[in-house]
């Protein structure tokens, strides 16, 4: 409330019915509800990378400091104060981190920004009910560099897998060759011990396997061996 004789009264009047002296007192209405505001900033990281940030704020004025806000900053106090202190805090905070850390430690960065910004806003009679980083983007050059790095890492992992696979195949080949060598040694030893009987046994086993395979085919017909002249139940002349 502005009074022509006393100036701005030291205590604000809350919502409700109030009395004023015509031509002597003039009220200024302030909205005490929580309002949103977004602040964008382009700043540099610790490793000199440019990053685009968007900060979302939910704010309201401190009722006890409304007279001071009115005298020093006016009804558009948020337009005068929030962009300035928002950019100040963002630049000071982001400069402490490298670009990669902003991605992996985003929650921690957001909390640090919120703490510092609430403290600065309180000096101007503004209460911040919520502060959050809603957008974080790097320059196109840095984004391409990150993508190239990820592709290189994937290629390195793929090459590592190929090398490991080749090593396993080599070990398997060595084991297989050792097994075949041992099998050949055992067969040679058995041949020396059993003589031609072992060879004859292997021949019989192979013939049995061939016979079993042929017996399962419908297109195979068995004929008697030797000099017999019988064929399909007919006698020769």
Same-domain check for residues 114 and 175: no
- Beta-bridge partner residues of 35: 59
Q: Are 56 and 128 in contact (CB under 8 A)?
A: no
Supply the pLDDT for residue 223. Answer: 57
Supply the pLDDT for residue 149. Answer: 63
Among 95, 112, 138, residue at a domain's last position: 138
User: In this structure, is residue 43 part of a structural domain?
Assistant: yes
218-to-88, 135, 222 alpha-carbon distances in Å: 91, 75, 11
Q: What is d(CA 50, CA 177) in angstroms, rounded to the nearest whole number?
A: 60
Q: Two tokens at 98? A: 């490298």
User: In this structure, is residue 234 part of a structural domain?
Assistant: no
Give the number of domains in the chain: 2
Q: In order along the chain (237 residues), what is the average pLDDT of each group of 10 residues?
A: 76 74 81 90 85 92 90 89 92 88 86 93 93 82 61 69 80 78 69 64 74 69 53 45
Residue 125's domain comprises 31-138
User: In this structure, is residue 44 part of a structural domain?
Assistant: yes
Same-domain check for residues 116 and 35: yes
The H-or-E segment that residue 60 falls in is strand 50-61
Same-domain check for residues 45 and 98: yes
Q: What is d(CA 38, CA 168) in angstroms, rounded to the nearest whole number?
A: 57
Q: What is d(CA 176, CA 52) in angstroms, rounded to the nearest whole number?
A: 60
User: In this structure, is residue 171 part of a structural domain?
Assistant: yes
Residue 46: which CATH number? 3.30.479.30
Does residue 55 sit in helix, strand or coil? strand
Q: Model pTM greater than 0.85? A: no
Q: How far is CA 214 from the centre of its chain?
A: 60
- Beta-bridge partner residues of 2: 8, 26
User: In this structure, is residue 224 part of a structural domain?
Assistant: no
Same-domain check for residues 186 and 126: no
């Amino acid at each position: 409330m502005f009074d022509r004789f006393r100036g701005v009264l030291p205590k604000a009047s809350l919502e409700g019915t109030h009395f004023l002296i015509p031509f002597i007192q003039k009220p200024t209405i302030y909205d005490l509800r929580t309002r949103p505001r977004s602040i964008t900033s382009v700043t540099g990281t610790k490793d000199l990378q440019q990053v685009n940030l968007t900060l979302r704020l939910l704010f309201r004025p401190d009722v006890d400091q409304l007279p001071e806000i009115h005298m020093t900053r006016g009804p558009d106090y948020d337009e005068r104060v929030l962009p300035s202190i928002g950019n100040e805090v963002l630049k000071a905070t982001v400069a402490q981190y490298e670009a990669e850390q902003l991605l992996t430690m985003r929650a921690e960065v957001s909390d640090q920004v919120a703490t510092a910004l609430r403290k600065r806003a309180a000096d101007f009679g503004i209460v911040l009910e919520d502060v959050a980083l809603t957008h974080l983007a790097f320059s196109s050059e840095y984004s391409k560099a990150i993508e190239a790095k990820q592709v290189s890492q994937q290629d390195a992992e793929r090459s590592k897998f190929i090398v490991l696979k080749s090593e396993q195949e080599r070990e398997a080949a060595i084991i297989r060759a050792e097994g075949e060598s041992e099998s050949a040694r055992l067969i040679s030893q058995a041949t020396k011990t059993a003589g031609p009987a072992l060879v004859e046994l292997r021949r019989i086993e192979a013939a049995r396997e061939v016979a079993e395979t042929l017996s399962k085919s419908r297109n195979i017909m068995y004929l008697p061996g030797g000099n017999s002249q019988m064929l399909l139940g007919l006698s020769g002349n």
